[in-house]
A and B are shown apart, each in its own frame.
Chain A
């Protein structure tokens, strides 16, 4: 019997890119997405203390420990997403609670800012096929043994290339500034000569001069396209070299042993969707995946395991703070999983995270038995998602086949044995096992009993009852409006009927709307933000540190020491260190 609990000790977090309902009023410009983000954050600040994020990405952290970001995706062409990040949590129930709190905070902020004219939608794919949505983050051992030595040596060898890439990107920045100055001079000169200079303003600035003053300028679309291509080409040598090293070294064992679990997980955590042909699929995002491992969008890749944050750390974050590069030398890093839907149903979200955590814990403890190796994983994933009868059997190595249900049962049994060997495993681990088994049994025998518990079953129920014989557009509206977070959203309408299975108490969510989760770096970050956010310049933060004051007087509170799990934290000799280190560093 193992002595020290190694169950639910790692830090975990969810990122959610929200779609927006922005009604188009005839004769009026559609609101700029960056402006929507700014107004939303202003409304959020009225609800909870916030602090500026120190990051390449524009965003704020709030006193409940989480963050809200503006994801810049081709802004000149109308792109840009509002993204919420939960604080770092340690258990699936804790994460579910803070995710629900985040959904509520942002929904209320949107309502306060726009009076219902702009609404948030927590889904993963729009009617035009654009994909966005959920990302899961799990702290995990990325590399060990000889691979760790290779990874560290590669980071040292890549440094000159990284420096060259920083320089190139800096020169692009300088070039953009020079362009803005030159464009202004050209426009001011031509304005006197041209009878109607508006077309020139649109060509040079991407908008009229009036809009330039009123809105956040994005630049012309043609310049954005050129810069986008140039940045990809110029960073390609670093990207390719880094990817090769990551592919060889990063999360190798986890990727091998976790993949069959993730491919089959959609039968529990998929949120369901109507495809272009009107077929019902189990999951929203899964069929968009086109590779197992990648950087996520750099070359049109949409991977199950996204390693893009390593690339960002090397070419962008380390630019702002060189110590970010040093952090990459650590064996424990962030495992980011892109294969997963944004859930509305508590049980689906709880099981999505809880079962993944248990499988990761068992893998890292070396207690996962030999897993079935899936042949042609992306094709198998699509086959699983296209069959809501759950009868499809996918090919395994050795000529065998298995259904998603059978693969899930294999992992359930492995995790049951893993938890069973630990007398001090948290009660929540046994709760996840129990619900996992109930869900698999119900999927096999009576899927309808899971209406209100699993999203794809619930969505299919709504489609069956409310859209039989309806047009594709009406069915697709149900598919998407199911995820709208306002009271008009279809899942929200079901809440009052008693069909939805709620896992959380109202008081827990209310607590999470105001406070960060205890025992995490977010607890420290949130406390400083609440204390110092009266003066916007007094406090700023990122995932690694809180910064108090500005200029040379800035004090930095590093959060790394609060990343340890309770077992390590409460070990003799650690308590004193945590207390002493609680003081700020200069």
Chain B
């Protein structure tokens, strides 16, 4: 099996892709925030209870 490794991922001459930012859609943002507001007030205690991680981790 050939295990030769391709070159390093980011040579000095490589260009870095710039952020891909869709144009801000104020209506979509307002709708999303309104949706979040409604959803966050729907049985929040239940959501908090159902997302507990017993004893946590590292």
Answer yes or no: are A and B bound together in one complex. yes
Q: Is A90 positioned at the interface, with any CB of B under 8 Å from its CB?
A: yes
- In Å, the complex CA distance between A93 and B32 comes to 29
Query: In the complex, are the beta carbons of A496 and B32 less than 8 A apart?
Result: yes
**Are A466 and B37 in touch, CB under 8 angstroms?**
yes
Binary contact track B5-30/A, C-beta < 8 Å → 1, others 0: 11111111111110111111100110
- Other-chain contact of A94, B9, B23, B53 (Cβ < 8 Å): B9
Contact of B25 among A346, A347, A423, A497 (CB under 8 A): A497
Question: Are A499 and B1 closer than 8 Å at their CB atoms?
Answer: no
Residues B52 and A297 in contact, CB atoms below 8 Å apart: no
The answer to whether B8 touches A470 (Cβ under 8 A) is no
CB of A320 within 8 Å of the partner chain: no
Evaluate whether A21 and B50 lie within 8 angstroms (CB atoms) in the complex, with A502-B21, A517-B9, A518-B6 already known.
yes
| A81 engages B14 (CB within 8 Å) | no
* A296 CA / B12 CA spacing, docked (Å): 38
B12 touches A427 (CB 8 A): yes
Q: CA of A17 to CA of B51 in the docked complex: distance in angstroms?
A: 13
Q: Is A503 an interface residue (CB 8 A)?
A: yes
A582 to B47, CA, bound (A): 51
- Contact at A425–B12, with CB atoms within 8 Å? yes
CA distance A21 to B48 in the complex (A): 9
A481 and B57 form a contact (CB under 8 A):
no
Tell which of B21, B23, B39, B52 touches A501, judged by Cβ atoms closer than 8 Å.
B21
Residues of B within 8 A of A8 (CB): 10
**Do A518 and B56 touch across chains, with their CB atoms under 8 A apart?**
no
B8 → chain A, closest Cβ, in Å? 3
CA distance A452 to B29 in the complex (A): 11
Q: How far apart are the CA atoms of A17 and B40 in the complex, in Å? A: 24
- Among residues of A, the one whose C-beta sits closest to the C-beta of B14 is A427
CB of A286 closer than 8 Å to a CB of B: no
CB-CB < 8 A to A217: which residues of B? none
Contacting pair B55 A494 (CB below 8 A): no
Q: Is the CB of B54 within 8 A of A466?
A: no
Contact of A476 among B1, B44, B58 (CB under 8 A): B44
Asked whether A474 lies within 8 Å of B58 as measured between CB atoms, the reply is no
Asked if A83 meets B57 with Cβ closer than 8 Å, knowing A505-B17, A566-B7, the reply is yes
A73, B56: Cβ atoms closer than 8 Å: yes
Complex CA–CA separation, A170 to B24 (angstroms): 60
CB distance from B30 to the nearest CB of A (A): 9
A467 to chain B: closest residue by CB: B40
**Please, which residue of chain B has its CB at the minimum distance from the CB of A476?**
B48
Segment with Cβ contacts to B, from A40-48, A150-158, A410-418, A523-531? A523-531
Bound CA–CA A471/B42 (angstroms) = 11
B5 in contact with A74 (CB, 8 Å): no
Distance A121 CA – B14 CA, assembled complex (angstroms): 35
Instruction: Decide: B57 and A17 in contact? CB cutoff 8 A.
Output: yes
Residue of B nearest to A483 (CB): B51
- Beta-carbon contact of A127 and B51 below 8 Å: yes
Instruction: Check if B55 sits within 8 Å of A77, measured CB to CB.
Output: yes
Tell me, rounded to whole Å, the shortest Cβ–Cβ distance linking B14 to chain A.
5
A407 at interface, CB cutoff 8 A:
no
Chain B proximity of A13: nearest CB distance (Å): 14
Given the complex of chains A and B, what is the CA–CA distance between A493 and B28 in angstroms? 10
Asked whether, in the complex, the Cβ of A132 is within 8 Å of the Cβ of B57, the reply is: yes
Distance, CA A524 to CA B4, complexed state (A): 9
Query: A429-464 toward B: CB 8 Å interface, digit per residue (1/0)?
Result: 001000000000000000000001000000000100
A562 at the interface (CB under 8 A from B): yes
Complex interface: chain B residues within 8 A of A220 (CB): none
Q: How far is the CB of A315 from chain B (nearest CB, A)?
A: 16
Residue interface bits A96-138, CB-to-B below 8 A is 1, else 0 = 0000000000000000000000000100001110111101000
- Given A21-B50, A466-B37, A582-B2, also A503-B19 (CB < 8 A): yes
B20 to chain A, nearest CB (A): 5
Contact B32 A130 (CB under 8 A): no
**Contact: A480 with B47, CB < 8 Å?**
yes
Residues on B with C-beta less than 8 A from A335 are: none
Interchain CB contact under 8 A, B58 and A135: yes
| Bound Cα distance A500, B32 (Å) | 13
Nearest A-chain residue to B11, judged by Cβ: A426
The answer to whether A565 and B8 touch across the interface, beta carbons within 8 angstroms, is: yes
Chain A 323-352 near chain B by CB (<8 Å), digits 1 or 0: 000000000000000100000001100000
Question: Residue of B at shortest CB range from A131?
Answer: B56
From B1, B7, B50, give the contact of A519 (CB < 8 A): B7
Name the A residues within 8 Å of B34 (CB-CB): 466
> What distance in Å separates the Cβ of A414 from its nearest Cβ neighbour in chain B?
20
A24: interface (CB < 8 Å): yes
Residue from the list A71, A79, A94, A431 in contact with B58, Cβ < 8 A: A71
Minimum C-beta distance from A505 to chain B (A): 6
Judge if A5 is at the interface, Cβ distance under 8 Å.
yes
Give the docked Cα–Cα distance between A142 and B34 (Å): 50
List, in ascending order, chain A residues with CB within 8 A of B33's CB: 462, 465-466
* Contact assessment for B57 and A81 in the assembled complex, using a CB-CB cutoff below 8 Å: yes
Set of chain A residues within 8 Å of B15, measured between Cβ atoms: 427
Q: Is the CB of A91 within 8 A of B50?
A: no
Q: Is A78 a contact of B58 with CB atoms below 8 Å?
A: no
In the A-B complex, the 3 residue pairs with the smallest Cβ-Cβ separation, listed nearest first, are: A132-B57, A566-B8, A130-B56
Q: 24 A-B contacts, Cβ less than 8 Å apart?
A: A24-B46, A73-B57, A77-B54, A77-B55, A90-B8, A90-B10, A93-B10, A127-B52, A128-B52, A130-B53, A133-B57, A296-B58, A462-B33, A466-B36, A466-B40, A481-B39, A493-B36, A498-B23, A519-B5, A519-B6, A519-B8, A524-B5, A578-B5, A582-B4
List the interface of chain B (C-beta within 8 A of A): 1-17, 19-25, 28-29, 32-37, 39-41, 44-58
- Other CB < 8 Å A-B pairs besides A130-B53, A132-B53, A474-B40, 17 of them? A15-B58, A73-B55, A127-B52, A423-B12, A427-B14, A466-B37, A466-B40, A476-B48, A477-B44, A498-B21, A498-B24, A498-B29, A503-B20, A504-B20, A562-B5, A578-B5, A582-B1
